[in-house]
Structure 1
Amino acid sequence: MLSTFFGMEIARRGLLSSRAAMDVTAHNLANASTKGYTRQDPVFTTTDPYTMPGAWQKLLPGQIGSGVEVSQIRRVRDSILDQQVRGALGEDGFWSERQDALQRVEAVFPEPSDVGLGDVIGRFFNAWHELNNSPTDPGLKATVRETGQELAVNIRQTYTQLKDIKGSLQESIDLKVDQINAIARELAGLNREIARIVANGNQPNDLLDRRDLLLDELNGLVPVQVVVNKDETINVSLKYYDGNTEKQQSLVVYDGSYYQLKASIDASSDELSLNVLDQNGNQAVTVPWTAGSESFQLPGSLAGVENARRRVQDYMDQLDQLAYSVAAYVNNLHHDKYDGNGNLIIDVNNPDKGVDFFALTAPTYNDTNNNTDSDPLNDSSDYKKYDELTTGERDSYVKGYAGKIDLSDKIKSDVNNVNGDQALNIARLRTELTMSPDAAGNPTATFEAFYRGLVAGVGADAQGADHQVGTTRAVLQQLENLRQSVSGVSLDEELTRLTQFQYAFQASARMVTVLDDMLDTLINRMAV
């Protein structure tokens, strides 16, 4: 026969379970606006039933329930949605950084306008055309010199602005690596806390929420692979691109330990590497990590910054090419070395006729026989075309030239050194095909067309980034809404559940009252 107090125990368990459920609901309501919070749900489980012993047990209805308990407080989370959201966060981070950088680059090229480099190039060659009408006029020569100086200043300023943008992007890389290190350090600390709580048989829901929020932030910065262990701790490894395939690097977070990253950019190749440091701060592994090719982009804002940094360098290289080509073509004609058709002029009576218009001094060059030649470009008054230069000559001679282009000292000191005899030939350079050679090596663009192509490329890149940001933001918002519908807190739903648990609590309390009346009858009102 069951104990008279058996029903009291069932009611007690009901009271405790309902009270625990109301506490969970209150916790949900309190954190309805907390970023990263996951709705929690009490899991009710029937307690072990009571089996009445006795010879006649087989004739009885069977086991009698013993009540209810809250066996678990469950986080309502969809891991598949988490993966999708984190992937979208990485894409959004990449394109947002690229968009921001390209918007700054667009501001460097105020085209079309009367103060842009394109207009200055046109006025420079127009000044030579005017000088052709009166080749000895010192006023017209002064105008040529002034427009030449304006052209050089404009190119230098444009290059400096691009260089500053690139420098700020390099600083941004360091800041993002610091963010990654801070997240890794906190994840390692959470791993230790979570392992201890799980070992005690508890569920660290709020710590898991904090960890998931950090993983969201980390995936927005850099692509990572996350492995969840049996004790709810995680191992985090870095993904990188080696030029061919996506691979995974050694662990950044392992159990309660983490490994710091340090960014370094090779001075010669301009390649970014992430160095993995051990616990003592010593370099353990070097990851040749780049932002990938145009057809294989790594997600994350770090990759976006690196991609933008290299894109800005491409614009700087094109500006170098333009500056060098203008200087080399003008100097060759200004020396009276070539006529308007590119034919070499030999003047035996004046072999060193003319001076450099632009300062264009060749560097020291060592040939394969270790013989030093002060000029790999023939001589200082006979400059090769840009496309005739070797790769080494371009790197040592042309790279960075746009940042230092200037008039030669002789032109600056004496306007009479401006060669009016070549004014028409130099003016014709404006319409000559001098840039962008085809497969056969024949130039296909004028100086102005080449510059317009550079500006158009910047605009197209920026427009493409704007489009991608719009697309990725829409996808991210949709996925966030889906995740919020699963894991977010609905005030209406929680208040409804609160009422439900309140009535359950009242019912259990009423059961206690009924049992109390029964016991009072048994103890105090029945005759002995």
Structure 2
Amino acid sequence: MSFGGLYISISGLYANKKALDTISHNISNSNNPIYVRQSAIHASNRYSTTQVGNMQMGTGVHVEEIRQIRDEFIDLRLRREMEIHGYWSATSDVLHEVEMIFNEQTNSGLQKVMSNFWDSWSELYQKPDSITMRGLVHESAVAFVETVNHIDTQLDNLQLNLNKKILNEVDEINNILEDVMFFNEKIKLGEGQGENIRANDFRDSRNELLDKLSEKLPITYYEKYTGEVVISLNGRDLINGNYMNPLKIVKDNKGYGNIYWSDTNEKIDLQGKGELGGYIDARDEAVEKYRKSLNELVKTMADEINEVHKNGKSLDWDGKTNEEIEFFIGSGGEINAANIRVNPELGNFNKIAVSKSGALGDGENIKDILKLRDEINKELKDMTFDNFYRDIISTLGVERNKARSITLNQEILIKQIEDRKGAISAVSLDEEMADMLKYQHSYIANSRVVNAIDEMVENIVNRMGIVGR
């Protein structure tokens, strides 16, 4: 019985020391933002059965596990919300860039340039034969052309920058997957060797990687009995044990990178999902949508003005030749924002066809050009040129505000979930000190039992049976 009691007390010493070590580790990581507090879970040892009376006796206590105090459902929800935040944050950033490219917030964008262009025709109508006014029309047309060329170039550059961003994101994702594989191995080995505290520290680092990865991709995951985490994307494994299936980039004829599975060369659908999906959608759809609208405006406006201008007569008209001079020209097919130019022939301002008769002072052709500004155009969704462009900008503003609002709402929601997570998993110095006192008292109590048994054994061995003392 005495030696059994000694064994029980010693097991209590070991268990309480492990609990105190865990508390010390918690306190030392109290300022570590990724750390999840740990707790030593005590459990009874197996009972022993006596040979006499077939009675069961307790054999002490042991540390069942060093458990992280966390709510996995909160982690799942946090990462789901981070995925949504990643998509809309990327979308908001890109739409903001598009707004800056159109530059309408400063009142010096295309709307102002278009207004100046139409106003220059009105000025020329007052003095149809004025070279100065003709030069003003030519100058305002060049400004219009250069502005839409510049917008198209900037949209091109934005798509190229987004493509680089996508390539960098894929590299970062693959690096994260490699790091998760590294921590999987460390956790498996640590727990196999009984180093639970160290294994849990590796878990904290791995969970930080899972947080980052979940913002970029719509991942699902679970932890195996070995401590390794299995990560999947669209129902297929990215990581499982020693198996890793990294993302692969395949470039199309534009040089744009698309995301494929490295093992099967199948394209991965990330539309509307995660930060990476946000950048891909923005590059391939959002930016292209506004380029297409701009091209529709530029082409329709150029075609309409050309049709009227070809019917007019220049100051150089000889009264016989049918001039049919186009005001705007393109290159390689239809006119668009990238290739529109003012006809080089109009560098001779006399070639601007403002009259219908060719007579001096005749500006009747200008009236037909000016009418175009207020005409409803079927190619432009039954809107005028100005209204169609305003619709582009207002749509852009609405979509940008939507993306920004969702992003801000997600940030608030994520902050609330993180606060709730912190209330459960963060280290509280007050709680740790209370637990420390509890385990210290328990440790001291077990020490006293050991001392008492030691004294008892000493008396039995050294004093019993000695007569005269």
Maintained 8 Å contact 2:36/2:68: yes
1:390-449 per-residue CA deviation (whole Å, 9 max, x = no partner) reads: xxxxxxx35xx212322111113x1111112122211221111225555xxxxx211111
- Using a 3 Å threshold, how does the CA distance of structure 1 residues 356 and 95 change in structure 2: closer, same or farther? same
Matched, 1:64 2:57: yes
Maintained 8 Å contact 1:273/1:289: no
Deviation of residue 461 (structure 1)? Answer: 1.0
Question: Which residue in 1 is equivalent to 2:344?
Answer: 409
Question: Which residue in 1 is equivalent to 2:9?
Answer: 11
TM-score, length-scaled by structure 2: 0.89
Question: Which residue in 2 is equivalent to 1:360?
Answer: 330
Alignment equivalent of 1:311, drawn from 286, 306, 310: 286
Alignment equivalent of 2:103, drawn from 110, 134, 144: 110
Deviation of residue 78 (structure 1)? Answer: 2.1
- Using a 3 Å threshold, how does the CA distance of structure 1 residues 223 and 133 change in structure 2: closer, same or farther? same
Deviation of residue 259 (structure 1)? Answer: 2.2
Question: Which residue in 2 is equivalent to 1:232?
Answer: 227
Kindly, what percent of the aligned residue pairs are identical? 26
Deviation of residue 313 (structure 1)? Answer: 1.3
Question: Which residue in 2 is equivalent to 1:429?
Answer: 372
- Using a 3 Å threshold, how does the CA distance of structure 1 residues 170 and 479 change in structure 2: closer, same or farther? same
After TM superposition, the structure 1 stretch with the greater mean CA deviation from structure 2, 512-521 or 7-16, is 512-521
1:195-241 per-residue CA deviation (whole Å, 9 max, x = no partner) reads: 444555664322333222222211111112324333232332222xx
Query: 1:68-467 residue pairs with structure 2 within 5 A?
Result: 68-111=61-104, 113-200=106-193, 203=196, 204-239=199-234, 248=235, 250-267=236-253, 273-278=258-263, 284-291=264-271, 297-298=272-273, 300-309=274-283, 310-336=285-311, 350=320, 352-361=322-331, 363=333, 397-398=334-335, 401-412=336-347, 414-421=348-355, 422-434=365-377, 436-437=379-380, 444-467=382-405
Q: Which amino acid aligns with 2:311?
A: D
Deviation of residue 262 (structure 1)? Answer: 2.4
Q: Secondary structure at the match of 1:315?
A: helix
- Using a 3 Å threshold, how does the CA distance of structure 1 residues 23 and 423 change in structure 2: closer, same or farther? same
Q: Distance in 2 between matches of 1:112 and 1:227?
A: 48
Q: Distance in 1 between matches of 2:160 and 2:59?
A: 71
Q: Secondary structure at the match of 1:41?
A: strand
Q: Which amino acid aligns with 1:167?
A: L
Maintained 8 Å contact 2:297/2:380: no
Alignment equivalent of 2:448, drawn from 480, 493, 510: 510
Q: Secondary structure at the match of 1:262?
A: strand
The ranges of structure 1 where at least 4 consecutive aligned residues each deviate by more than 6 angstroms after the TM superposition are none
Q: Distance in 2 between matches of 1:145 and 1:114?
A: 22
Q: Distance in 1 between matches of 2:168 and 2:238?
A: 17
In structure 2, the gaps of 5 or more residues are 356-364
Maintained 8 Å contact 1:436/1:450: no
1:335-394 per-residue CA deviation (whole Å, 9 max, x = no partner) reads: 1179xxxxxxxx9x756323121123453xxxxxxxxxxxxxxxxxxxxxxxxxxxxxxx
Q: Distance in 2 between matches of 1:214 and 1:361?
A: 50
Maintained 8 Å contact 1:189/1:256: no
Matched, 1:471 2:409: yes
In structure 1, the gaps of 5 or more residues are 240-247, 279-283, 292-296, 339-346, 364-396, 439-443
Q: Which amino acid aligns with 2:366?
A: A
Deviation of residue 334 (structure 1)? Answer: 0.9
- Using a 3 Å threshold, how does the CA distance of structure 1 residues 81 and 324 change in structure 2: closer, same or farther? same
Q: Which amino acid aligns with 1:286?
A: E
Q: CA RMSD in A?
A: 2.5
- Using a 3 Å threshold, how does the CA distance of structure 1 residues 491 and 115 change in structure 2: closer, same or farther? same
- Using a 3 Å threshold, how does the CA distance of structure 1 residues 80 and 290 change in structure 2: closer, same or farther? closer
Q: Distance in 2 between matches of 1:515 and 1:436?
A: 99
Q: Secondary structure at the match of 2:337?
A: helix
Tell me how many residue pairs correspond in the alignment. 451
Higher fraction of helix: 2
Question: Which residue in 1 is equivalent to 2:361?
Answer: none
Deviation of residue 13 (structure 1)? Answer: 1.2
Q: Distance in 2 between matches of 1:466 and 1:101?
A: 11
Maintained 8 Å contact 1:272/1:289: no
Q: Distance in 1 between matches of 2:107 and 2:95?
A: 22
